[in-house]
Structure 1
Amino acid sequence: MKQLPLLFFFILLLVQILSCTQKNNLADPLQAGWKGKKVCTILEENNKIRTLKCVFPPGIGHEKHFHASHFGYTLSGGKFRITDAKGTREVDVPTGYNYYKEKIEWHKAINIGDSTAVFLIVEPK
């Protein structure tokens, strides 16, 4: 009989773990790519940060993904079609643009401009 409460505890724990994974089964920006190809590479990773460089030539996008807290900087701007929970919009992202977001639940984007856009994404750990 003592094993029953322990078994019940492990079943509840398993259910909790599975529900957490199902809530966010999206790729992060490094894992997400475009049509099976990577668009981001790791420039630096240590126990404090991960820095990604993401390159989007014209017609290349970033499939649906999420972001944890991060700082972003545009090395080379471009025009994007972005889709998220708010809808779809076209955005001109200028060179030198920077921002900080606590998180992005999900979004996807495609470079609809005629120049290659390059972004740095710095994620604190």
Structure 2
Amino acid sequence: MKRNLSIMLGGIFAPFLLSFGANAQDWKNVNPKMNHILADTTFLRATEVILQPGEKSDMHTHPAHFVYALTDGKLIVHYKDGKTETIELKAGMSAVSAPERPHVSENGGTNTIKFLLVELKEHPYVEPKTKKK
């Protein structure tokens, strides 16, 4: 199950519908009421994330990161490219992810979702360059 969560998370927390330049919106600055910063150093940021039932974040990205679910819940990730993933979180699940592309995160369940997000600042998301035709 941890393996499946790692694959599904693929960089999970970030989805939302804004346009970006080379680097997208920093999660720290997106919906600050959802974020409780536990540590913020030159190389990492640890955040307790809280999403109420039905609540959605704004569009954002993440650098490489580690996620640890503190509660059970249904997390829906809406990617800027139109893809959607639904993740059934179970308290104690964890995952490691490469930098996450632009997305919006939504609590698709009936209970509050809480998870720990540890972002590695030295490995930021960088939008791929588009090929010229």
2:50 matched to which residue of 1? 55
Cα deviation, 1:61-106, whole Å, max 9, x if unaligned, reads 2211000011111111211221113612332111111111120011
2:76 to 45, 64, 81: 81
Greater per-residue strand proportion: 1
Return the TM-score normalized by structure 1: 0.71
Which structure would you say has the larger RCO, counting Cα contacts within 8 Å and 6 or more residues apart? 2
2:101 to 84, 101, 105: 105
1:70 matched to which residue of 2? 65
Please give the secondary structure, in 2, of the residue aligned with 1:30: helix
Cα deviation, 1:9-58, whole Å, max 9, x if unaligned, reads xxxxxxxxxxxx8222x31222111xxx5211211122342101110110
The structure number with the bigger radius of gyration is 1
Residue segments in structure 2 that go unaligned for 5+ positions in a row: 1-19, 122-133
Moved over 4 A (4+): none
Return the TM-score normalized by structure 2: 0.67
The yes-or-no answer on 1:32 pairing with 2:30 is yes
Greater per-residue helix proportion: 1
Name the amino acid aligned to 1:28: D
Name the amino acid aligned to 1:103: P
Aligned residues: 101
Aligned residues of 1:70 and 1:100 also touching (Cα < 8 A): yes
Residue segments in structure 1 that go unaligned for 5+ positions in a row: 1-20
Q: Distance in 2 between matches of 1:38 and 1:95?
A: 22
Q: Which moved more, 1:42-51 or 1:98-107?
A: 42-51
Q: Distance in 2 between matches of 1:100 and 1:90?
A: 17
1:86–1:98 Cα change, 3 Å: farther
RMSD: 1.8
